[in-house]
Chains A and B, each alone.
Chain A
Amino acid sequence: MKYRVVVDPELCIGAASCVTVDPAVFELNEENKAVLRDPRNTKDAGRPYERILEIDEKEKDTLILAAQSCPTLAITIYDEKGMKIFPE
């Protein structure tokens, strides 16, 4: 399934809880902000604040746990139809 994941760099404080929970998707950039990796293409040089991820059900659960772990609610997840699935 496809999900659009968006990090708000204004809200992100670099606590890196998302990186700890889901290192396949999140990492910190030079400014200590969370950015999105592509778990299917690790060679991809881009580290944007927004990315469409094609992931399975189990990976989705980890992604949601990572978003929930953010103490500033800086991560938003949308499903294929553009419906916001996190934060609820």
Chain B
Amino acid sequence: MAVVDYLIVGGGVAGTTAAETLRRLRPNAAITIVSAEPYPLYSRVLLPHLVLGKASREKIFLRQAEQYREKGIEFLAGVAVAELRPGEHTAVIVGYSKSDNSRILNIRYHKLLLATGGAALPLGVPGEHLLGVTPFRSLHDAEAIIAALSAMPNSECQALAVGGSFISLEFPPFFEKFGLAGGMLLRGERFWRRILDDEASGVIEDTLLAHNIRIYKGEALVACEGERRLESVRLADGRRLKTSFLGYGVGLAGAPEFVLQAGIAGGPNGIAADERLRTSAPDVWAAGDCADFWDVTVGRRHRLGNWLNAQEQGRFAAEAMAGEKEIPFESVSAYATKIFECSIAMIGDLTSQAESRWLTRGTRANGKVARLHLRGGKLAGAALINILTERAAITTLIKNRTDLRGREKDLADPSFGLQNFF
């Protein structure tokens, strides 16, 4: 039985940041990271660049194995937690091999951080395990996508992507890069159907259409078909689209099985955590994409799946585990990407509540639209499509909780400068 002060499950940005923060705060503590992926920390944000050939494989790694050793952090890669016993403060790790060839390692911890990230939610249709059907979460996925798209004859049918948000939208530029005709399947009539309206979604659609990406709206995928390899997808109305590639991004999977089996509260939305990122088990915290945490800034529990949040929560959890944090976790979340020429940024809270009011600033015709989420007369969040210059002003309005009651007309008028609110 190994004994450590701090055990961290997950070697992504939340787990790595937590380990490094703990090392800074506790120079003599024994710290171990167990990571399911077989490599050191890499940038998931750069994975699209890897597929597009804009970043080398070497470039996406943010740590080298020796950097963990130099910091005195034990890093066990390519292993999994088979069982967690929070009452005994023990984790059973499998896939581990050392000189004695034992494949099982029991680790007793004083404090544990769950930073397991978020696996892709399965498509939930028959045939989703066929070759050519792939999510996009990991370096492994990125390499599978490169292999599949480069093997696809460009005379053939189209490559398809399914889903209406960030992950699925990464696929169309890949299709273009590999010289393939491409299409997107949307279950609803718009991208981010709960956030964008037709004007805002229209700007994204126009960008895709300009790159010859076909958009299939209101189409539910019911099956992936083929022998061993994907040959076609079947839609709810019985139509078949011939394809040998389907990329999907339909959300994140829930709390890992070993966490639920240990009796730790959680569910389809992740591992339940309070405002200080503590789980229901003693001495166990959760951070990053896996954490369904109580967010004091929005007054409810939710999960944020982005790089910056994972990093900040990793740092916060480490400080809390070291006994140096007695305040709630607080942060204005933001995520941004660029799909072809179209920039998309999501800032703050974008979940509609009963008292929510939404405003549209800009038009599809002008190619720039902001969707503003107002609650209680204040700006809670914003989705910005091709809006670069006003991003800072909008973020400030959210952070300052500026009272915007009675100013809706000005907010919705792109010719009204937002600086007039300050």
Contacts and interface: CB of A to CB of B under 8 A. Distances in A.
Interface string A7-19: 0000001111101
B44 interface: yes
Given A16-B345, A17-B307, A28-B391, A71 B43 contact: yes
Interface residues of A, number: 21
Interface string A61-85: 0000000110111000000000000
Contact of A15 (B45, B67, B388, B395): B45
A72 B45 contact: yes
A13 B338 contact: yes
A10 to B, nearest CB: 9
B100 to A, nearest CB: 34
Given A17-B311, A28-B388, A72 B334 contact: no
Nearest to B71: A88
A32 B338 CA distance: 9
Contacts of A15: 45, 307-308, 335-337
Interface in B356-397: 388-389, 391-392, 395
Interface residues of B, number: 27
B46 A16 contact: no
A27 B62 CA distance: 23
B334 A16 contact: yes
B106 interface: no
B388 A32 contact: yes
B343 interface: yes
Given A15-B335, A15-B336, A20-B332, A28 B392 contact: yes
Contacts of B336: 14-16, 32
B49 interface: yes
Contact of A27 (B312, B335, B392): B392
Interface in A15-53: 15-17, 19-21, 23, 27-32
Nearest to B389: A30
A71 B44 contact: yes
Given A32-B343, A72-B46, A73-B62, A16 B391 contact: yes
Contacts of B334: 16-17, 20
Interface of B: 13, 17, 43-46, 49, 62, 67, 307-308, 311-312, 331-332, 334-338, 343, 345, 388-389, 391-392, 395
Interface of A: 13-17, 19-21, 23, 27-32, 68-69, 71-73, 88
21 contacts: A13-B45, A13-B49, A15-B45, A15-B308, A15-B337, A16-B336, A17-B307, A17-B308, A21-B308, A23-B395, A28-B388, A29-B388, A31-B388, A32-B336, A32-B343, A68-B17, A71-B13, A71-B44, A71-B45, A71-B62, A73-B43
